[in-house]
Amino acid sequence: MMTYLTEEEWEERFVPIIKRDEDCLLFSTHTADESAFLAVVGNNRIWTQIEADDGIEYIPGFWRVNAEGYIVTMNPWAENEANLAVAIDFDFGRDDDGHERGEDGHG
């Protein structure tokens, strides 16, 4: 069973690294430089971004299945934290009460 952290809790605890010269967290295995960086950084500082039902999730470790990219953090996760996950909920299309909006932006 997964234990979910909020995005804020996760950022505060693990401190994600923003890519140099970009305002982006995701690293890829499609470029040699980034692939080499991921190979040396250590699995316990890597989080895999995957697509989830209601948005995206970050899960600890380097996973290839369903991976959209990888996030590297300053602080490593511990072996007993391998069941952690971060749900990033994009509330596009929902109003403040959680109701879905129509295409015109109204409920």
pLDDT tens-digit readout, 73-99 = 999 999 999 999 999 876 654 444 444
* Residue 28 backbone dihedrals phi, psi, to 5 degrees: -130, 160
pLDDT tens digits along 28-63: 999 999 999 999 999 999 999 999 887 899 999 999
Q: Is the pTM of this model over 0.85?
A: no
**Residue that is written with structure tokens 């971004």 in the block:** 49
Q: Which residues contact 84 (CB under 8 A, 6 or more apart)?
A: 2, 3, 4, 5, 10, 59, 60, 77
* Residue 64 backbone dihedrals phi, psi, to 5 degrees: -95, -35
* Cα gap 39→9, rounded to integer Å: 26
Confidence band, pLDDT 50/70/90 cuts, at residue 14: very high
Confidence band, pLDDT 50/70/90 cuts, at residue 104: very low
The per-residue pLDDT for 91 is 60
* Residue 43 backbone dihedrals phi, psi, to 5 degrees: -55, -35
CA distances from 11 to 8, 16, 66, 90 (A): 5, 6, 22, 17
